Amino acid sequence: MSVVGLPSWLPDWAGVEAESRKFDVSALRLRAQELVDLVLTEETDYLDALPEIIESAIVTPLGVLSDALDEGTDVEVIVASRLVRRAVDPFLAEAPEDLRRLIGHLPLPVGQSSR
């Protein structure tokens, strides 16, 4: 099954098969689910409290990640995680500490090295 929002042309697919064999996907799934729960849980106003630039950058990719966690393969979870990180990384300086921490657990987007 293919996760909606993960088209084959995304650069985040590059090298993902090899990465999935050396990556602790179980740990990634746990951290990614924590991130989804933190931001998208309706019981809190966490999303609304985020700076607008972060809110608009994270909503769609995080929805894709949530779908990948529910229905996707390990490879799709890695790709969706890279997508979230790529979308939010430019704005992390403005993000709350808990969001920065969880985003930091996601794999780096293609072409980005650790700082």
Q: What is the pLDDT of residues 61-86, one digit of tens each?
A: 999 999 999 999 999 999 999 999 99
pLDDT at 26 exceeding the cut of 60:
yes
110 found inside a domain: no
pLDDT at 114 exceeding the cut of 70:
no
88 found inside a domain: yes
The fraction of the chain above a pLDDT of 70, given in percent, is: 94
User: What is the model's pTM?
Assistant: 0.90
Mean per-residue pLDDT over the chain, rounded: 89
30 found inside a domain: yes
Provide the domain count of the chain.
1
The domain containing residue 96 runs over which residues? 14-104
Picking from 105, 86, 100, 103, the residue whose alpha carbon sits closest to that of residue 13 is 86
Q: How confident is the model at residue 17 (pLDDT cuts 50, 70, 90)?
A: confident
- How far CA 21 is from CA of 31, 50, 76, 82, 91, in Å, comes to 18, 35, 13, 16, 30
Picking from 70, 49, 61, 48, the residue whose alpha carbon sits closest to that of residue 89 is 61
85 found inside a domain: yes
68 found inside a domain: yes
pLDDT at 12: 86
2 found inside a domain: no
8 found inside a domain: no
9 found inside a domain: no
d(CA 12, CA 78): 8
Exposed/middle/buried for 27, CB within 10 Å: 0-12, 13-18, 19+? exposed
